[in-house]
Structure formats: structure tokens, C-alpha cells
Amino acid sequence: MKLVAIALLLAGLTGCKTYMQLKYGMKQPEEETPAKLYSFLQKHHFPTENIYLFSDSAAFCRMVRNSEFRKYLLSHMIFNREGILIRHDTTKCQWAGYDIIKSLNRDSVYETSNELKMSQILDKIAPMEGASARNDSFGDPDFTVVVTWAKFIGAYNYRLFILAEAADLSQKSRIRMIWLNVDMQQSWELTDQQKIAIR
């Protein structure tokens, strides 16, 4: 009887978010600071270069209102040399980008979307204090991959940060990685009401 109840419960829970909660220990978001985030990155041996934060809560809220950006939240977005978003299947669990990123080719033609441009994101973010912004291909990349990550999603971050390896293995393109944190920041000084709205 207990097994039937568990099976019915799991059958009613669908999608990657539920999978993340059960497998990776995703928890309620908390307010973070650059120092806490940097410590988290170091502890788990994640990249500490090219880490970005939203400049303030208004920038964060404006960005998450963009339906195209929301599709790729806690995943990755790939932009071509002109800063145009390259479409990829968002119905799959979003860590399915390793092979895509590894095989990016500056001579290939990709389906794009004009609903989100890289400049819309870059206008709203800033390098995280304490993290360096050095990247060998930062100056003139063929592609820019923006990966949105968060401390509150726990071990799922391993699925996101592994994309750095895919970019390093790319032999046909220069790829710039931007690691964009989407945790609430203590510096935003959010009210309880605003925290509830963001969660």
C-alpha cells in the first residue's frame, strides 16, 4: 500500500523542477552575499572566473519578466557573435547542453530568436566582487554562453558548471562563459513581501 501511494505521488509530480527537488536537495532561496557565494564556489571546485550578479533587484525582476529568459532559467543560453540568442529545445531537462556547446561551430547556421539579446542581460549585471573576469576568449568570442546558477539549487549546480568543460573542449569556436547567479542578494535590502514575490 505504501509503495502504491509513493508511485501515485511521483506520477503526479512532473518536470525537471520536481526532479531537482527530489534528487539534488533544492531548498528555499535565502539572501546571499558575494563572500558566501565565492566560498560556495571554492568549496565545490566550481569556476570562480566570470561570475556575475544582477546589479539590483529591479534588474533581476525586469529580466525574469522576459518570457524567453525564463525558459532558460537555471540552465544556459547561447548567443552568437552578434549577441542573438540561439534557440535550443527547452522541453528537455536543461543540463542537456554539454554536447551542443562542445560542437558549436562558427561556420554553422543556427535558428535564432530576437526575443532576447545578450545586450539586454549585460545591461543588468555586474562582475561579482572577489571574482575575476579573465577569460582567454572574452575579447572576441564566436559564442557567449550565459549559465544561470544559484546556491539554493544545491548539487544540481554540478550539472551547470560541467558546461565549462564542454566550452574548453570546443575546437571550432572561441566560447566566452558568463556564470550568472540568480540568488537573492543581501545588498538588495528586500522587504519580506518582495522576497515572497521573488521566491
Q: What would the pLDDT profile of 136-174 be if each residue is shown by its tens digit?
A: 445 689 999 999 999 999 888 999 999 999 999 998 899
- Give domain status of residue 8, yes or no: no
- Give domain status of residue 178, yes or no: yes
- Give domain status of residue 15, yes or no: no
What is the span of the domain harbouring residue 135? 28-198
- Total domains in the fold of the chain: 1
- Give domain status of residue 78, yes or no: yes
Contact between 185 and 53 under an 8 Å Cβ cutoff? The reply is yes
Contacts of 163 (CB under 8 A, 6+ apart): 76, 97, 98, 101, 145, 147, 177
- Give domain status of residue 5, yes or no: no
Contact between 101 and 77 under an 8 Å Cβ cutoff? The reply is no
- Give domain status of residue 35, yes or no: yes
pLDDT tens-place string over residues 42-100:
999 999 999 999 999 999 999 999 999 998 898 999 999 999 999 876 665 555 688 89
- Give domain status of residue 77, yes or no: yes
At 77, give phi and psi (nearest 5°): -125, 140
Task: Report residue 11 as a C-alpha cell.
Answer: 506520477
Look up residue 163 and give its amino acid: L
Q: What is the mean pLDDT of the chain?
A: 82
Judging by DSSP bridges, how do beta strands 125-127 and 112-117 pair with one another?
unpaired
- Give domain status of residue 155, yes or no: yes
